[in-house]
Every structure is written in C-alpha cells, then in structure tokens.
C-alpha cells in the first residue's frame, strides 16, 4: 500500500498546523468587563474558534464582507501539550507545552446583534483570519503566565496594555474548568481573554502586539474581497 497514508509529524512548535481546537475565554479582565457594563462572571465564559481561523505573520487579517466593525483583542494563548479530562487545578500546569501571543479578532456587528438576540457568537469569532498567532513560546521561557505584560499598538498608537495578573481566572483554573466540559487535546490553544482597550481596525492598519521581553508580532489589515 503506497500513496494512501501520509506521515504527520506532530511538532508542538507548529501546533497551528494540526491542533484541533481553539477555546476562547471571554471577559476575563475586570477592566474590560466593567467598561462594557457586563455582569460580573462567577464562572469563565467560553466559546470556540475553528483552527481554520489561524494566520501567521505575512498573511493579512481580513475584515469579512459582512461587517466593517472588527476589533482587536490581544490575548495570552496557552498551548496544551498533554491532553486530559477533568484535570485538577494542582496538575494543570503539567498539561501546558508552552504559550503563544494571539489576537482574538472579533466582528462586533454580528457579536452585538447575536448577543442581543440570544444567538451564538459564531460569525463574530470564527471567521477566516480571526486568529493571528505568534511563534510557539516554550513553557520554560515563561516561568509565571500570571505575570506578563501584554500590549497592542495600532499604527504605532498604544491601545491595549495590561498585566496577566489582572485576569479574573488564572491559567491553571481555566485549564481545570475547561477540561471538565471539553476534553483538552495536545495542540489545543486556550485564548485567555482580552484586557481593556479594544478598538475597530480598518483596511491598511498595521497591528503590532507583544508579550514584554518575550515576543512581538505584526499583522496588516485588509478587506475581504467580494
Ligand atoms: O469579545 C468578547 O466580548 C469576549 C472576549 O473574547 C474577551 O473578553 O476576550
Ligand atoms: Mg477575546
């Protein structure tokens, strides 16, 4: 038998090529939540993005045809190295392979409309190019994911800047909580929520974001052609 099987080498440092899901956490920074006047959460708010949403530097973020209201959300991404179900918080960090800086691009038109109507957030969160991602950052480069400074600039203007110590639910808590409902698998990415400072992006904007002293990413915005 030849030709029917291709060997896939699962290299965690290229998790975006074969990872099976992206789990988003909403409203995990009190500042962001307060400003939008949302009720305080007692449990994490979760959503999914398909892995077809990943893009890497060099590819543009495309504003979908159905909206011109797409916002940037800079977020710490956690890359799962060892899967599991009902993972105890005390064991959660053993399941982490590393990290990545991600942008949870969000189409606010459909988000607000579907939210108001009590409908799913799918079009707001899952569109093509809605998950620009940095290189993989091995776990040993980040001794404490709860003490990282995240920032994002649009056309050189600082829009988002916060420390992950402000997160309402910590990385170990999120891993444990999510895995009670959704089995975590090797290569999954958890986007841990965005701090305050979202703003709409437009064609030809240049987005630059970073985790201080660790990584920087740059993406250009374009409009999806009809
Ligand atoms: O866009 C939202 O309202 C929810 C979200 O992803 C976040 O807070 O990071
Ligand atoms: Mg988000």
The pair of structure tokens assigned to 90 is 């005390």
CA distance 7 to 11: 12
Select from 179, 199, 192 the least CA-distant residue to 87.
179
Contact 121, 114 (CB under 8 A): yes
Give the model's pLDDT for residue 3: 56
CA distance 89 to 176: 5
Contact 79, 187 (CB under 8 A): yes
The domain segmentation of the chain, as residue ranges, is 13-223
The pair of structure tokens assigned to 107 is 């189409």
Give the model's pLDDT for residue 120: 86
Tell whether the torsion through CA atoms of 198, 222, 13 and 95 is positive or negative: positive
Closest ligand to 71 CA? 1
Closest ligand to 34 CA? 1
Closest residue CA from atom 7 of ligand 1 = 26
CATH number of the 13-223 domain: 3.90.850.10
Give the position, in ligand 1's atom list, of the atom nearest the Cα of 38: 3
Closest residue CA from atom 4 of ligand 1 = 26
Q: How far is the CA of 202 from the centre of ligand 1 (A)?
A: 19
Give the model's pLDDT for residue 35: 63
Q: How far is the CA of 174 from the centre of ligand 2 (A)?
A: 14
Give the model's pLDDT for residue 13: 98
User: pLDDT by residue (tens digit) across 128-182?
Assistant: 999 999 999 999 999 999 999 999 999 999 999 999 999 999 999 999 999 999 9
Cβ < 6 Å from ligand 1: which residues?
24, 26-27, 32, 73, 104, 106, 193-194
Whether residue 1 is predicted with pLDDT greater than 90 in this model: the reply is no
Total-model pTM: 0.94
How much is the ipTM here?
0.98
The pair of structure tokens assigned to 55 is 């893009």
């Amino acid at each position: 038998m030849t030709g029917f099987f291709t060997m896939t080498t699962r290299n965690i440092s290229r998790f975006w090529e074969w990872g099976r899901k992206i789990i988003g956490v909403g409203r995990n920074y009190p500042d962001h939540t307060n400003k939008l006047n949302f009720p305080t959460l007692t449990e994490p708010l979760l959503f999914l993005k398909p892995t077809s949403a990943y893009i890497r530097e060099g590819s543009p973020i495309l504003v979908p045809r159905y909206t011109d209201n797409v916002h940037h959300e800079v977020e710490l991404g956690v890359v799962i190295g060892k899967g599991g179900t009902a993972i105890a918080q005390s064991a959660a960090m053993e399941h982490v392979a590393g990290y990545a800086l991600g942008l949870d691009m969000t189409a606010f038109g459909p988000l607000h409309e579907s939210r108001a109507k009590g409908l799913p957030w799918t079009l707001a969160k899952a569109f093509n190019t809605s998950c620009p991602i940095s290189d993989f950052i091995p776990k040993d480069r980040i001794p404490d994911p709860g003490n990282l400074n995240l920032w994002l600039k649009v056309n050189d203007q600082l829009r988002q800047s916060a420390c992950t110590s402000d997160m309402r639910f910590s990385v170990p808590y999120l891993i444990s909580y999510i895995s009670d409902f959704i089995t975590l698998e090797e290569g999954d990415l958890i986007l841990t929520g965005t701090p305050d400072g979202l703003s709409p992006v437009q064609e030809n904007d240049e987005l630059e974001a970073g985790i201080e002293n660790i990584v920087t990413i740059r993406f250009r915005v374009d409009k999806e052609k009809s």
